[in-house]
Amino acid sequence: MKRPISTTNAPGAIGPYSQAIDAGQLLFISGQIPVIPATGEIPEGITAQTAQSITNIKAILAEAGLSIDNVVKTTVFLADMSLFAEMNRVYAEHFTAPFPARSAVAVKELPKQVLVEIEVIAVKA
């Protein structure tokens, strides 16, 4: 019982994966990088890139009939841990208490040399 979720309001998958999978009570959203879906452009800087990644997540959530308030777990991948504070500031503007559980890690490299990628798990209320 899994159903793919896809929207043109977020970047399309660039490999053999789905934007998201509806698995009954849970929605698993693949890591979203900060690509602007209408243009394919990537904004400059961690602040704009974090905001765009979250915008892409919100679009996928909306396609599934959910909102950011349904998110229970996030994983944030950063190109460098020195970007954490700026990412965290933007992240805090989009999530409200009770905040989702979260992991944040620095990785060697991200697709398209972006600075951030965010994946989420959401629950249907």
How far is it, in rounded angstroms, from Cα 24 to Cα 124? 8
pTM of the model: 0.96
How far is it, in rounded angstroms, from Cα 3 to Cα 17? 12
Residue 38 DSSP class: T
| CATH classification of the domain holding 63 | 3.30.1330.40
**Total domains, the chain:** 1
Q: Residue 20: which domain range?
A: 3-123
What are 46-104's pLDDT values in tens digits? 999 999 999 999 999 999 999 999 999 999 999 999 999 999 999 999 999 999 999 99
Closest CA to 56 of 84, 98, 108, 94: 94
How far is it, in rounded angstroms, from Cα 42 to Cα 39? 9
